[in-house]
Every structure is written in structure tokens, then in C-alpha cells.
Structure 1
Amino acid sequence: MASEKATLVTGGAGYIGSHTVLALQQAGRRLVVLDDLSAGTRGIVPDDVAFVHGNAGDQALVASVLQGYDVDSVIHFAGSILVERSVSEPLAYYENNVAVSRNLLETCASHEIDRFIFSSTAAVYGAVTVSPIPEDTETRPINPYGSSKLVTEWMLRDLAAAAGLRFVALRYFNVAGADPGGRSGQLGPVATHLVKIASQVVAGTRKSIAIFGDDYDTPDGTCVRDYIHVSDLASAHLAALDYLDAGGESQILNCGYGHGYSVREVLQAVERCAGRPLNPDRAPRRPGDPPILVADTSALQKTLSWQPRYDDIDVIISSAIDWELSLGRGAAANGSRAHA
């Protein structure tokens, strides 16, 4: 049974956060979303979910939210996520991903919040050669984004030892797709993920797409990634909260499907779903792109009793295309659309 107390969701107006809000709401959870809207969109948070406009690192504000909404658990999504920008603006990423998280954790500890779920990333592993990747693989991030997430995992580990906090850190692999009901999806003027970019090409909001390197040591020469539907990832957060509510100990868990698709396979699936060719360009390899990144998800499934519902690349892509087309229709109808 869901607790009568509330769960605070930081960054709940963002891509993954908003889908998790939908999953928690459907499960009957009391929620409050805290988002400064620097990378989120107010319109994708349901009207009947409490919303506070502000920064997760603002300790006075967070304290008032924890008290005012009777919060007993926190899911922390708020943060910066663009790998390329983290390389050019490393201190901004350490500020938004580490300093903000540090302030949030201190406030949570002072209010005796003992359940915390953290939005982490497979980028903490770096350029690994093992596949699939288990959670005990050595963490050697190759960019400030991955480093900032790993430092926050360390803070959680150390606070858990000092203050009795129990946490689940979920390391995401490649998140894609959109809510099957069309209530949320990926927004933003800067797209860096393959499925999002390909969907923009289908919708006519982007002219072309490129394959960065086709000479990797993979079956078709292009990089292989583990794609997880955003709604399945959202359900993993709900399962993690249920797990902590039941007294579960702290865990770090990979989030993926345990198998991958190459860039070329994904683009072929997009063409299949769209019914037309994309004619991708060829481009040089990007520095730091490992050939294969696939999650070992056995711990996730065993610990949380989690099973995916949308483990089908065509389902993932179709939902992403439908969302992108809906954005185009919305822009045509309204003249503009607010972007995260």
C-alpha cells in the first residue's frame, strides 16, 4: 500500500522525471515536484500534482517543501545531462550535479529522510570492453558528466554509512521513446540521442542524420547500445521506491534490457516504422565512443522484481515518432511550443 506521506521528485518536469511522475501518480502515490524549469516543461506535469518552482540545491526551499508536504522519500532527477557540454563547461556540471546534490542530501539528512532514489548513468563506467556490463565493473568515467554522477553516488554511499540513509542509484543506459498515451516525451532544442534525432527527421523538424563511424568491431561496423523505453525506466523507479519502503538495503542497479541494437539497426527500424528511407550520412567516429554498451540487468530484475513491458525496438521508436509528430501538430496549432 502506498504511503500517505509524499515523495519529492526533483526534476519532475523533465523527460525521465515526468514519466516517473506519471507512473507514481498511477500507483496512488502522493507527490510533489520541484523543478526550476531550466531544463523542464511545466506543461508535462499533471495539473493535479503539487508543483514547486525552484532549485533542488536551495536548502531553505527544500526544507519548506519537505515539511510542508510531509515528505518521507526523494527521487532526484534534477541535473545537467549533455555529455558534450560537460566537457566544455565542467565546473557548471560539478555545480549543478554535485554541489546541488550535496545541498539536497544535507537537507534530507537534517529532516531524517531515509529513502532516496538517484538518477545515475552508465557514463560512470567509461569506455569499458566487457559486455554486458555488471554493476561491479570498475568505474572510470571519461567525461565530467559521468564523473559528476559518480561523485554523487559516492556521497550517497558515505551518507548511508554515516546517517542510516538507504538509497537506490539507477544507472541508465540509452533511454528512448515516449509515454504510450502521448502525455509526455522528450523535449528540448538540443537533441543528442539517436532515436530523438531520427524521429525529428521523420517529423520534418531536422533535415538529416549521420552515422558516426561504421568501422567498429561490431557485426555491422556501427556502435551497439542498450535502449530502454522511458516508461519501463519510470516503472523501475516505482519498483525501487517500493523496495526501499519494504526495508530494502542500498543498491546500485543498471537499467537497460540486457541486449543492444546497432546504430544501423535502429535507423532501419525507424525507416520501417516511418515507411520511408532516412538516407543517413556517414561521418567520422566521435572521440570516446565505445563500440558496445550493453547492461547486465540481472540485479535489477532480481532485486526489484522488475519486468519490462516495452522491450521492442519498434515500440520504442513508434512512440518516439508519435510524440515528435504531436509536437509538430502542437506547434502548428499554437504557433509555438515551450521546450525543455
Structure 2
Amino acid sequence: MRHLARLLARPEVGALAAAFVIFGFFLLVAPSFRSWASFCTVLYQSSTIGIVAVGVGLLMIGGEFDLSAGVITISAGLVNSMFCWYFGVNLWAGALLSLLFCLLVGFLNGWLVTRTGIPSFLITLGTFFVLQGANLGVTKLVTGSVSSRDISAIDGYGSLQRIFASSSTLGSATVWITVLWWVLFVGLAAWTSRRTRIGNWIYAVGGSAASARAVGVPVTRTKIGLFMTVSFLGWFVGMHSLYRFNTLQAGNGVGNEFLYIIAAVVGGTLLTGGFGNALGSAIGAFIFGTTSLGIVYAGWDPNWFKAFLGVMLLLAVLVNTYVKRLATSSAGFSRSVSPEGEPT
């Protein structure tokens, strides 16, 4: 009974059960969904959301939000492409400049949140509008349109494309490198949150920043680091988008921030902070990929996807609240349980 309670108290258990049910459902209703190629496509779709969702999930565990996580992926690609196209320099220089830009945005978000006490929802909402406007305004100023120029002929394109947007054939399917990067980032985040002092700090500041500060946790550095992690992963996805399609639309990325948050919440992360894990966020992203493509393979109206997201978010909040109560109550008859459902 104690082992069952500890298992059910893990934040990702509900999401894992939902993933099996949803995947099995589309296997039944959509014949074209049953191929290896379709499964790899689902993994690719999941990875493009899941990479950033890993950072967003950790940030939410730390008690904060980042509503600029969607548009910064486009900002990252635009800085790289337009700088190199306009000045005629190697794309590696632009990629480094883009990385520094994204890390600066993350630092400013974290610094403003910790120094002003203004909720991160409002700070990053302001960043969202600044980046969205700059993406459109600067792109039109430089290129004369709302899309960047084709960069495939600029030096450095081949090596960067292999890192961020290459693919290989495995049987009858195409496997994109983002899937491998996604697994790596999830594994790194899971190890950090469970096996390192930084992971303890993240859960501590999300549970109670004041209490964490009282016992010596560097709350300011931890939160700034989490915001910078989200920006770094946003930069990574932005590089993938740029080097897969060679050009970007400046108005894209809007709304993706909610997909990252939904993936984390569906994966067991509480909106109030202090509870969740990286594996849960990955499962939430997989549910997103399964549903978004399953609806298409089933031949249904894709507009129903947004309705599904709303239902999943509501159900996830209810399930997560119950799991949190179960985790708390299970400590009463057995050993205490950590935010990840592990004995402490």
C-alpha cells in the first residue's frame, strides 16, 4: 500500500496514463497513425514543443512563468539570419550573437522579477510584446518584408544545419535530430533536479522563497538561472526552425508559450510551484504531439485541437491538485515524500 501511494504521488503518473490512453485511441481510430513513420513524426512534433517545455516546467517548479518563451524562438532565428545576411558575416557569428541576446533577455526577465517583486506573469508579458513588436518592426526595416531572407548560401550554414536541423532515415521513417536533443535535455534536467544542489534550490524557491532564503538558498541567482535556461532552450528551437526552413516569418511563435505551459501542467507541474519534474513535462509534450497529429491522421477538423487543449488543461489541474494532496497525506503513514514522489 505504501509503495502504491508513493507511485501515485509521483507528478508524472497521471500524464503517463493519459498518454497511453490517447495514443491507443488514435491507433484504433486512425489507420494511418499505426506506422513507424507516423510515430517518428509524432516524436518530432513533440520535440519542438518539449525542448522549451523542459525549461518552462523547471521555471514553473521554481514558482515563476515566462510568457515570452514563444516569441523568443523567432527572435533568436531573426537575430541570427538578419545580422549575417545584412553584414555578410559567417552564420556562426550570428548564432553566437543570437545566443547572447537570448541569454540577456532571460537575465533581464529574472532580474526584474527578483528586484521589483512584480509578478513574472506581468514582466514577461511586457517582454512578449516588446519582442513581438521588434520581430515585426526590425525585420520589415531590414528586409522590407515580414520574413527573413534565405540564408542557405551564407558561410557556416552546412555545419549549423547538421547540429540543429539534420535528419536521418531509420527504416521507412525520418528521424530529426531535435528528438535526440529533446531526450538529452530531459535527461539533463531530470538529473539536475534530482541529484544536484541546484535541483534542491529549484524546489525550495518554488515551495516558499522566503523560507528558502532563510536557510541560505540563493533565491535570486536560482530564479535568474531558470529564466536564462528557458531563453537558452528557446534559442535552441529558434536555431532549429531557422536551419530547417532557411527563412522565418517574423509574426510566428505567438501562442506557443501557452503550449509549453500546458505541456508542463499536463505533465504534473503545479501552477503554484514546488511540484513537478522534467519527465512529466516531456510526457505532456508527447501528448501534445500525439493529439495534434492524431487529429489530422484521423481526418477530423483540426480546429478541435484547441478544444482538446482546454479540456486537458482543466483535467490536469484537477489531477495535479489531487496528486499533491495524496503526496502530502502519504507522508502521514509512511516516510516523507519529496516533490518528485521520492522518499526523503
TM-score by length of 1: 0.30
Which structure shows the higher helix fraction?
Answer: 2
Which structure shows the higher strand fraction?
Answer: 1
TM-score by length of 2: 0.29
